[in-house]
Structure 1
Amino acid sequence: MLKGYVYFFSLAKIRKLKHKFFPNKDYLCRLIIVDTMNKGLIALAFGGLAIGMTEFTMMGILPDVAKDLGISIPKASNLIALYALGVVVGAPTLVAFTSKYSPKKVLLFLMLLFFIFNGLFTLAPNNLTLFISRFMSGLPHGAFFGVGSVVAARLAKPGKEAQAIAMMFTGMTIANLAGVPLGTYIGHHYSWRFTYAVISFLGLITFLAIYLWMPDFEARKNNNIFQQIRYFTRWDAWLMVAVIAIGTGGLFAWMSYIAPLVTTVSGLAEDRVPLIMILIGCGMFFGNILGGKMADTFSPSKAAIGCFSAMAICLLILFFISPIKASAYPMAFITGMISFTIGSPLQMMLINNAKGAETFAAAAGQASFNIGNTLGAYFGSIPITLGFAYNYPSLIGVGMASTGALLAYVFLTKVVRPQMNR
């Protein structure tokens, strides 16, 4: 009965309807309805949708791209690595050049770049321009989520910051739930270029949503870029980079090769790949919400340790049972859910540990996340090139996620607890 108008009700009406229609334990419904009513968060979620599609769709259509370009799948996976490299380069660079402007202007600028660069990728006439434009399309990614994370935290009520950030990342999970499967279907049956034309258009829609809905916060007066850069003279900043880059590599060691995994190891038909991507996206949607709740309920560091440990266990189970055809469907959902609980805890660890340099740290966190993307895809390709089956990248992921859990524990004991005891 709430229909699509729920976002535009006042908080009092939302609460009244909540008690009328959802009198029991309905945390998920309450979280989605109340915490997303802020249209600024909805605009950020649109950005997460567009960015999630441009990043993750490539993994679902990798065999199609490789076939179209006449190259091997491991070589085509360089498109994944180049995008991640673009994020690593763009996050600190774009944040540095835009630090004196208001967050709304910065977000508008970043989504304009997203629209242009993905359009170039769609129209690239040869492999060289294709690879270059793929790198360029990654440039706005880290800066968008870096600025967006700080804006989401400013929009949130006290104690709800991680859940607000999680709502921004909900756009990315919806991308995996619906956008990536749709893009995969289009790539399989028509052309991967059509898929990225749609993604480029989503960037334009996000630009309009930010322009219409985003509050125009003033730029922070103490937003000195040199002060923010000095954050990375601290050893604990580089520990956070290692936590994210290595730990999240476990997710990408598995997901970068999901299409050949389910077709060659699990024995599914190629037309089942979009369904697998839907299940992964559905799992990520719930995992993202769960991760935000965990980070606000427990400390972000403790939540990160638990999430990385669960990811390692899940990938180990996946390695052994992936040859069982029926296991492909539930494991896609479970692995996607567990793997994506990690996003909000890591962002809150960064923001909490970088007072005065929150935007730069959050952007660098996205760069670190995409270093994990690159490391996971690269190390995951090693057993494949050695002749092993496509479930062996998951075993690489076990080691990376376990290392992430260990490093998060070091961060908790050597950084967080000493700060609390001061």
Structure 2
Amino acid sequence: MTEFVIMGLLPNIASDLLPALSATSQEDALSQAGWLISLYALGVVIGAPTIAGFVARYPRHRVMIVLALALTVFNALTVVLPTFELVGISRFLAGLPHGAYFGIGALVAADVMGPGNRAKGVAFILTGLTVANVVGVPLGTYLGQEFGWRAAFAVVAFVFAVATLCITFFVPKHPGEPGRTMRQELGVFRIRQVWFTLGVGAIGFGGFFAVYSYIAPLVTEVAGSPEWVVPIVLVLMGLGMTAGNLVGGHLADIDLRRTLLFGLAAMAVVFALLAVLSFWIVSLSLIVLIVGFVSSVLSPTIQTRLMDVAGDNQSIAAAMNHSALNIGNSLGAFLGGVVIALGWSYTAPAWTGAALALAGLLIALLSYRVEARRPAAPVLVAS
């Protein structure tokens, strides 16, 4: 919710924090408001490998408590800070713990599920993200539209406070890796396949964020529907994401390669369909449901692929997946804003997303071709 609720509230944030620009050019104001998405993503990109590498030696359940508390505080800052610039700083700070938080959670779940079911464990953790898109994001969008966009982030801060307590009392003790050092963890960057996989996540999955970041104007400006329809469309997106995430975890455990390649190809196709069929709210809603499903099939798939190729650098690899996806978040939001600002209409981000998905597919194909020429190192499962 902390990452996605802002996407349905960009018009509200733009009119509140950028009133002068919004009055003269709504497109430019929306494009600049999209920077808040990019700043959060930048925080994830920087924080995920840095924090994960530093805390690899510590008990994972305790690390999760500290990170959840930090997410509580930084999201509360978004609620109270008055200007666009200060809100931008708070979004950057809130992004810093994000990748390590979800990455460490994924390691704990994968370990609990055991060999042969690691992708299912990753999918279980990521289900929290998708459920947020069914319940939290639409609810937050509704509250933000009715009571001001800051109300949505007040809910986010409250949820993280509850999560901190829940982790404290219910997540079992889970040891870290006492012998690991930051230098050892950074060895992951010497593995070529890690870079390929990060590229798939950053570029290929960036297509999803090019679409998702501007879903609100797509509903209101292109389909001509009232603002209250936006949360309903977001619910459909979240339902698709929840189903796709669970199916993706199952498929990735069966055949990760096919799931990754077919998922990227399918994502390019549905984005193109969205661009063509978004002028009618019924077809838009149906395609959005499919977009959510296909995109989320890739989430546990990319995470598991990265853990497969990272060797014994599991802590930093699990977190870096979120760095890659948030590079995609930043890239997609930025490029989507650029094509809107250029006057190419609100359907242009969907075409941008299709192009990014195809680029991700090419990277994945190249990755497997290189891997076929040189046998990969044995996969080590995190303990």
Q: Report the TM-score when normalising by structure 2.
A: 0.93
Higher relative contact order (CA 8 A, sep 6+): 2
Moved more, 192-201 or 224-233: 224-233
Aligned pair 1:365/2:317, yes or no?
no
Residue 36 of structure 1 is matched in structure 2 by none
Equivalent residue runs for 1:180-219 within 5 Å: 180-219=137-176
Change (3 A) 1:144 1:68: same
Q: 1:129: how far off?
A: 1.6
Moved more, 58-67 or 213-222: 213-222
Q: Quick one: distance in 2 between partners of 1:366 and 1:340?
A: 14
Equivalent residue runs for 1:1-80 within 5 Å: 53-69=1-17, 70=19, 71=21, 72-80=29-37
Residue 278 of structure 2 is matched in structure 1 by 322
Residue 97 of structure 1 is matched in structure 2 by 54
Contact 1:223 1:356 in 2 (8 A): no
Residue in structure 2 matching 1:294, options 246, 251, 262? 251
Tell me which stretches of 4 or more aligned residues in structure 1 moved more than 6 Å.
none
Contact 1:302 1:412 in 2 (8 A): no
Q: Quick one: distance in 2 between partners of 1:229 and 1:124?
A: 35
Residue 405 of structure 1 is matched in structure 2 by 361
Residues 315-345 of structure 1: CA deviation (Å, up to 9, x unaligned)? 0111111112321211121111111111101
Q: Quick one: distance in 2 between partners of 1:411 and 1:362?
A: 19
Q: 1:127: how far off?
A: 2.3
Gaps of 5+ in 2: 22-28, 379-383
Q: Report the TM-score when normalising by structure 1.
A: 0.85
**AA partner of residue 122 (structure 2):** I
Q: Quick one: distance in 2 between partners of 1:404 and 1:302?
A: 14
Q: Quick one: distance in 2 between partners of 1:245 and 1:381?
A: 17
Contact 2:53 2:315 in 1 (8 A): no
Q: Quick one: distance in 2 between partners of 1:85 and 1:307?
A: 26
Residues 149-179 of structure 1: CA deviation (Å, up to 9, x unaligned)? 1111111132111111101111110100011
Q: 1:305: how far off?
A: 0.9
Change (3 A) 1:125 1:331: same
Contact 2:240 2:291 in 1 (8 A): yes
Contact 2:7 2:212 in 1 (8 A): yes
Aligned pair 1:260/2:217, yes or no?
yes
Aligned pair 1:283/2:245, yes or no?
no
Q: Quick one: distance in 2 between partners of 1:421 and 1:222?
A: 21
What SS does the corresponding residue of 2:2 show, helix, strand or coil?
Answer: helix
Q: 1:418: how far off?
A: 4.0
Q: Quick one: distance in 2 between partners of 1:256 and 1:179?
A: 16
Q: Quick one: distance in 1 between partners of 2:68 and 2:34?
A: 25
Residue 374 of structure 1 is matched in structure 2 by 330
**AA partner of residue 195 (structure 2):** W
Residues 378-419 of structure 1: CA deviation (Å, up to 9, x unaligned)? 111222111111011100111100111121122223226743
What SS does the corresponding residue of 2:173 show, helix, strand or coil?
Answer: coil
Aligned pair 1:178/2:135, yes or no?
yes
Contact 2:56 2:178 in 1 (8 A): no
Residues 263-286 of structure 1: CA deviation (Å, up to 9, x unaligned)? 111111111001001000011010
Q: 1:420: how far off?
A: 6.3
Contact 1:91 1:140 in 2 (8 A): yes
Number of equivalent positions: 369
The percentage of aligned residue pairs carrying the same residue is: 39
Change (3 A) 1:78 1:239: same
Contact 2:8 2:231 in 1 (8 A): yes
Q: Quick one: distance in 1 between partners of 2:84 and 2:373?
A: 50
Contact 2:7 2:214 in 1 (8 A): yes
Residue 6 of structure 1 is matched in structure 2 by none
Contact 1:301 1:411 in 2 (8 A): no
Residues 184-226 of structure 1: CA deviation (Å, up to 9, x unaligned)? 0001111111110110011111111111111212222342321
Aligned pair 1:226/2:174, yes or no?
no
Moved more, 91-100 or 141-150: 91-100
What SS does the corresponding residue of 1:55 show, helix, strand or coil?
Answer: coil
Q: Quick one: distance in 1 between partners of 2:110 and 2:175?
A: 15
Residue 16 of structure 1 is matched in structure 2 by none
Q: Quick one: distance in 2 between partners of 1:322 and 1:200?
A: 34
Q: Quick one: distance in 1 between partners of 2:151 and 2:281?
A: 31
Residue in structure 1 matching 2:91, options 122, 134, 148? 134
Contact 2:274 2:288 in 1 (8 A): no
Residue in structure 2 matching 1:308, options 264, 271, 296? 264
Q: Quick one: distance in 2 between partners of 1:163 and 1:407?
A: 25
Q: Quick one: distance in 2 between partners of 1:192 and 1:133?
A: 15
Residue 347 of structure 1 is matched in structure 2 by 303
Contact 2:42 2:327 in 1 (8 A): yes
Q: Quick one: distance in 1 between partners of 2:343 and 2:367?
A: 37
